[in-house]
């Protein structure tokens, strides 16, 4: 019984230790990464919207 309690406690201690080792981005880096991700998501959304429209139009043309 005591072993099942020790495992989660040990895990949480290890997580805490690892979190101290993490290098967090500064404000400038975070802004840059956010902009890159936002533009990537917008680009992919537009790409798939155009592809969907094209495929739908092609299917409508074929099926009449």
Q: Does residue 17 lie within any of the structural domains?
A: no
12 part of a folded domain: no
Q: How many domains does the chain have?
A: 1
Whether 39 maps to a domain, the answer reads yes
Does 53 map to a domain? Answer: yes
For 29-48, give one letter per residue: b (16+ CB within 10 A) or e: eeeeeeeeeeeeeeeeeeee
Q: Establish if 44 belongs to a structural domain.
A: yes
* Domain annotation covers residue 33: yes
18 inside domain? no
* Among the listed residues 63, 45, 42, the one whose alpha carbon sits nearest the alpha carbon of residue 55: 63
How confident is the model at residue 23, as a pLDDT?
92
Indicate the pLDDT class of residue 39, thresholds 50, 70 and 90. Answer: very high
- The DSSP call for residue 57 is H
Report yes or no on 58 lying in a domain: yes
Query: What does the pLDDT average to over 20-42?
Result: 96
- What pLDDT is recorded for position 4? 67
Note the helical H segments in the chain.
2-21, 27-63
Q: Which domain holds residue 61?
A: 24-64
């Amino acid at each position: 019984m005591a072993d099942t309690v020790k495992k989660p406690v040990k895990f949480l201690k290890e997580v805490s230790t690892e979190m101290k080792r993490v290098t967090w981005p500064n404000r400038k880096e975070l802004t840059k990464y956010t902009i890159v991700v936002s533009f990537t998501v917008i680009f992919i959304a537009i790409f798939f919207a155009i592809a969907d429209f094209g495929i739908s139009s092609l299917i409508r043309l074929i099926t009449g």
